[in-house]
Amino acid sequence: MARVSRGRIIQPAQLADLVKEINALPEPRPLETRIPLWSNWITLASVIALLGIFWTGRKLNGAF
């Protein structure tokens, strides 16, 4: 409230102006940025590549 009103004293008659100033503030930036991994093609390619390496290693080792 002090940051919005810049430290000035607000009288009860000026509360409507303060509400307008608060509503005019821009939306705050999000605190965290989420990256959905499962919708990224690199994740799918990595999982398939790792499973392929695992399968190949088992075949070369003789385990079926």
Determine the structural domain holding residue 20 and report its residue range: 2-61
CA 62 from centre of chain = 45
- The tens place of each residue's pLDDT in the chain, 64 residues long, gives 677 777 777 788 888 888 888 888 888 888 888 888 888 899 999 999 999 999 999 999 987 6
Looking at residue 43, what is its pLDDT?
92
Neighbouring residues of 64: CB distance < 8 A, sequence distance ≥ 6: 58
Report the domain count for the chain.
1
Looking at residue 49, what is its pLDDT?
98
| Residue 37 near residue 43, CB atoms below 8 Å | yes
Looking at residue 38, what is its pLDDT?
83
